[in-house]
Amino acid sequence: MALKHTFYEFFAGGGMARAGLGPNWSCLFSNDFSDMKSRAYIENWGKDDFVGGDIGKVSTSQLPNRADLAWASFPCQDLSLAGNYKGLGESSAAVMTRSGTFWPFWSLITKLCSEGRGPRLIVLENVVGAITSREGQDFAALCSSLTEAGYTYGAMVVDARHFVPQSRASVFFIAVAKDVSVPVNLTLPRLDETWHPAALVEAQARLEGKAKRQWVWWHLPTPPVRNIGFADIIEERPVGCRWHSKAETDRLLEMMAPLHRAKVERARTTGTRQVGGVYKRTRLDEFGVKRQRAEIRFDDTAGCLRTPAGGSSRQTIVVVEGDSTRSRLLSPREAARLMGIDDNYKWLCCITSREHNRAFT
């Protein structure tokens, strides 16, 4: 029987990286700070390899052996608009941003390298804002960190819509230790616009010295056409939410500007069941006054999942079937399905908006 590959899972959340890696990978160590996420992780994967709490208090003595992979989906808040792009901060900062918890993680990696146990592969996953936050300083800092540790590396932007009916792009830094041979079919002599959008290309062009020399353009095959749509994951009898009353649905429709109300009217004429995703946003009306608006899309793809704890609204769905128009919040199980998680996962309310990325890659 072939030996399983091994991995560490940092910022583990509910264990979406573990779910995506599958049964041929064995977890040596996992960690998360959140009590709720820790409970979800243990409920689904057990507690044998899990250590809860501050990553800054983890030592290399708790990380057994030399892992084939270290996965880190470090906090995204300060690399996005929600966190005003405060960024990673400095590794020596007295006051750490949430995204700045990358530095205690990276300290563990560098110590493992000094012990001759640096992971053979490292994957860093975050929002695409990591490419441009602080005018590219955070991107450069991540690249420099991987370079100084002796890794060959590159980055890709992967949109969830290629695999599940949800629109969400994330950046993945993939780094390979110097003693690991890289198959030639995994790299490209030039970029591939499917995985390397303009913002990433521009950020890479600004790199200098070793950071640029150790960069590679990673190659992935073009994904097959997705065979599941938003409507396919919707439950008729959801758990954890309820269908709105007619009055509530009418109020939601009244919040739509003419452009979005017209999308609902067009959906009624199709003769088929149509499911649209709705987010509430503050917009200026024709008089320059801020108003809350409901904005809908009917492209069989959900909008990017978000956590209300981050200040965003929870996604609402509108189901149109002929003259019938119903609405409600997205259910927890539907959200899990949009992350690529099967129905056997024991979901809790703590699953975050980013964890689907770990499940489908």
Tell me the per-residue pLDDT of 272-297, one tens digit each, with 9 for 90 and over.
999 999 999 889 887 888 999 999 99
Q: Are residues 249 and 126 in the same domain?
A: no
Same domain for 210 and 162, yes or no, is: yes
Residues 137 and 285 in one domain: no
Of 167, 192, 226, which marks where a domain is finished?
A: 226
Mean predicted lDDT score pLDDT of the chain: 88
Q: Is residue 349 part of a domain?
A: no
344 assigned to some structural domain: no
For residue 89, being part of any structural domain is answered with: yes
Q: So what's the pLDDT on residue 350?
A: 43
CA atoms of 56 and 187, how far apart (whole Å): 34
Domain identity same for 164 and 247: no
Strands in the chain per DSSP E: 5-10, 25-32, 50-52, 69-72, 121-127, 152-159, 169-176, 187-188, 217-218, 274-284, 290-297, 316-321, 324-329
- Indicate whether 279 belongs to any domain: yes
Same domain, 160 and 75: yes
Same domain for 210 and 132: yes
What is the distance of C-alpha 62 from the center of its chain?
27
Residues 179 and 264 in one domain: no
> Considering the domain boundaries, does residue 336 fall inside one?
no
User: For the chain, give me the number of helices (H) and strands (E)?
Assistant: 11, 13
Judgement on whether residues 159 and 26 belong to the same structural domain of the protein: yes
Number of Cβ atoms within 10 Å of the Cβ of 350: 19
User: Does 208 lie in the same domain as 78?
Assistant: yes
Predicted confidence (pLDDT) per residue in 305-334, tens digit? 876 554 456 899 999 998 999 999 999 899
Quote the CA–CA distance of 250 and 263 in Å, as a whole number.
Answer: 15
User: For 165-187, how does the pLDDT look when each residue is reduced to its tens digit (9 = 90+)?
Assistant: 999 999 999 999 999 999 999 99
Domain CATH code at residue 144:
3.40.50.150
Q: Of 195, 226, 257, which residue is a domain's last?
A: 226
**Residue 39 lies inside a defined structural domain of this protein:** yes
Assigned domain for 222 exists: yes
Say if 280 falls within a structural domain. Answer: yes
Answer yes or no: do 156 and 253 share one domain.
Answer: no
Q: With H, G, I as helix, E, B as strand and everything else as coil, classify residue 269.
A: coil
- Rounded CA separation 339/347 (Å): 12
Measured distance CA(172)–CA(218) in Å, rounded: 10
The answer on 206 and 250 residing in a single domain is no
Q: Which domain holds residue 284?
A: 241-330
pLDDT, average across residues 195-202: 96
149 and 265 belong to one structural domain: no
Q: Based on the structure, what is the number of domains in the chain? A: 2
pLDDT reported for residue 81: 42
Is the pLDDT score of 79 beyond 50? no
Structure-block tokens of residue 23? 């049964």
Model confidence at 98: pLDDT above 50: no
